[in-house]
A and B are shown apart, each in its own frame.
Chain A
Amino acid sequence: MDRNQITKWLKAPAKMANKYSLHAIYFCTGCGIIEVPPVITSRWDAERFGVIPVATPRQANLFLITGYVSVKTLRAIIRTYEQMPEPKYTVGFGSCPINGGMYWDSYNTIKHLDKYIPIDGWIAGCMPRPEAIFIAVTHLWTLIDKEMANGYIRYRENYKSYRRNQESALGKLEWPPLFLVSNESQGNEQ
């Protein structure tokens, strides 16, 4: 771990602080959330990686999408994601958000989550072991280091198409667009 390397801290404090202080919002989006309690409590102790759960999206910068995403949950997921302050990272946990998984022909679940919100990394498996969350976190560190965890930038740039996909899945959305859709200027949050 390079948490103690002073030179890296002086060169890019924001990047280093983002790496070692991932506050995950605990929003139980699906069955996979059952793997999270052992991760954050005594058995595997995510706090030594700086990962702690927080209760509100305003304080969070890591969003774990755990398990299948029903249409109704997608609405809440999008609102939660949009309320998180930038920079923010999303990790899809389990097979279902990737391609539908065992719900591949369900009428009520979303098959490809990354059509609706940007995803920085995937953890495949049904269910992945709790240790997989740590592998994901260390991979996310590498991605942040190489500036490849840029989901929030992609969301800003391609907001128009994301919004279109969201509207096609959910019908009319009752909240205003997060960014101005017409030009590239950045809007403010609702």
Chain B
Amino acid sequence: MESMVAKITQIILSPVLALIVGVFFLGLARKIMARIHWRYGPPLIQPVIDMIKLFYQKGVSHGRMFDLGIILSLAGSIVVVLFLPFGRIAPLSSSGGLLVILYIMLLAPLGMALSGGQGANPNISIGISRKLILSLGYEVPLLLVLLTVMTRYKTISIMEVVSAQQSTSWSIISFPLFLSGLSYFLILPAILGIRPFDMSSAPQEISSGPMVEYGGKYLALATIEHAFVLFISIALFVNLFLGGAANPVTFFLKMLVVFVLGLCINAVFPRFRIEQAIKYLWKWPTLLAFLGLIITLAIRS
């Protein structure tokens, strides 16, 4: 009974925490970007102000699928958050692992694609096709990296990966896995969709791509979805390579470091074209991830 209550509390708490962290990251991103540009920047709570405004605005719907697609992608992200340990808060991580996360992570872009398809704006089609090509680019190294981690620790459970790292050392400084960690960090901007890889939502070229028809509460939901995606991809990196954490505060600090490093990349790089991005993603990150996998297999046998 006691554990039941604890579990339910965790199931409610973990998406809320993820949302708070994600929205904080959105605000921090704008502030840090501004400081790097030598500007003063908006207040830290600017995304919250924007979201309040958007929920009060009168949005325009383009049909049933337009509404349901974005809810589908939001639901997918929330379920992934339940499977990801955040410090010791890990409601469903005992019943699933990396494989489950890999499958459900696909729901988020899929829902956006479905929703955008109903929008019937040419910019949406271009944005969605770029997004799917980009995910084709980063899925290859990502799958290799996750395969390496699973092979190294002989488990698919993230909790066991975390506890194994806490008893020995972080994956990112252990021998064969630092190659995979480096590879994951190199593809992290592509997963987050930040600057060298933001061609799928480029405001200047294709009017912010899949977001072009979202206004009002749809845009607010899309922003929340973006906050969740930020949380998920960084939390996965921290769990797999930076040793997770024993409590949420340490975990949050580790996420913060990774995110600020990503922001610095975001601030100084121009945008790749889509074929340049594929060329990059299938060259160095894939090579590193592949090398890591081979060495891990060789050590193991």
Contacts and interface: CB of A to CB of B under 8 A. Distances in A.
Interface of A: 3, 13-14, 16-18, 20-21, 23, 41-42, 45, 47-48, 50, 52-56, 58-59, 61, 83-87, 189
A50 B213 contact: no
A85 B59 contact: yes
Among B34, B49, B213, B219, residue most surrounded by chain A Cβ atoms (within 10 Å): B49
12 contacts: A23-B50, A42-B38, A47-B34, A47-B41, A47-B46, A48-B40, A52-B42, A55-B203, A55-B207, A85-B59, A85-B216, A87-B57
Contact of A21 (B50, B58, B60, B215): B50
A17 B37 contact: no
A61 B30 CA distance: 20
A53 B38 CA distance: 18
B222 to A, nearest CB: 10
A41 B37 contact: yes
A58 B60 CA distance: 8
B207 A18 contact: no
A21 B46 CA distance: 8
Interface string B38-80: 1111110010011011001111100000000000000000000
Given A21-B46, A42-B37, A61 B207 contact: no
Nearest to B34: A47
Contacts of A14: 52-53, 56
Interface size class of B (residues with CB under 8 A): 20 to 34
Contact of A55 (B42, B52, B57, B208): B208
B211 interface: yes
A59 B214 contact: yes
Given A21-B49, A48-B41, A83-B60, 16 more contacts: A3-B49, A14-B53, A41-B37, A42-B37, A45-B40, A45-B41, A47-B41, A48-B43, A56-B207, A56-B213, A58-B215, A58-B219, A59-B211, A59-B215, A61-B57, A86-B57
Nearest to B48: A17
Contacts of B50: 17, 21, 23, 50
A53 B90 CA distance: 39
Contacts of B215: 56, 58-59, 84-85
Contacts of B41: 45, 47-48
B212 interface: yes
A85 B60 CA distance: 7
A112 to B, nearest CB: 28
The list of the 7 closest CB pairs from A to B, nearest first, reads A58-B215, A17-B53, A55-B203, A17-B52, A14-B56, A45-B39, A55-B207
Contacts of B53: 14, 17-18, 21, 61
